[in-house]
Amino acid sequence: MTKSIIMLTLQIVVNTIMFLIGTLGILLNRRDILIVLVCIELLLLSAGINFIVFSIYLDDFVGQIFAIFILTVAAAESSIGLGILTQYYKITGNVSLIEIGLLRG
């Protein structure tokens, strides 16, 4: 019993570090959209792994189903974001987030 609690705590610490890396990546680097997309993926992956860890610990399969939904949303977000990004790069020739903000209207 103690070994499973230690492993659960270790996994929660690792997932928290992953989540903080993703959050800091978004907050500190607002110029490169590719890094922002990767950091969003890291955030979603961390949340999905937390669902799986607690699902295994509590012996319930609902967390694993939520993790599959999170992975589906992450894949859709990634494909749509990269599609928009490639079209924007074809039009303008750069992918700077600062200049994307000028396209309002």
Q: Within 10 Å of residue 38's Cβ, how many Cβ atoms?
A: 16
Q: Which domain holds residue 90?
A: 2-100
Note whether residue 28 is domain-resident.
yes
Whole-structure pTM value: 0.81
Distances (CA, A) of 62 to 34, 90, 101: 32, 42, 40
Note whether residue 105 is domain-resident.
no
Instruction: Judge whether 36 and 27 are in contact, CB under 8 Å.
Output: no
Q: Which CATH number do you get for residue 38? A: 1.10.287.3510
**Domain total for the chain?**
1
**Rg of the chain in Å (alpha carbons):** 18
Note whether residue 70 is domain-resident.
yes
Instruction: Judge whether 76 and 37 are in contact, CB under 8 Å.
Output: no
How would you write the pLDDT of the chain (105 residues) with one tens digit per residue? 677 888 889 999 999 999 999 999 999 987 788 888 899 999 999 999 999 999 999 999 999 999 999 999 999 999 998 898 888 888 888 777 776 666 665
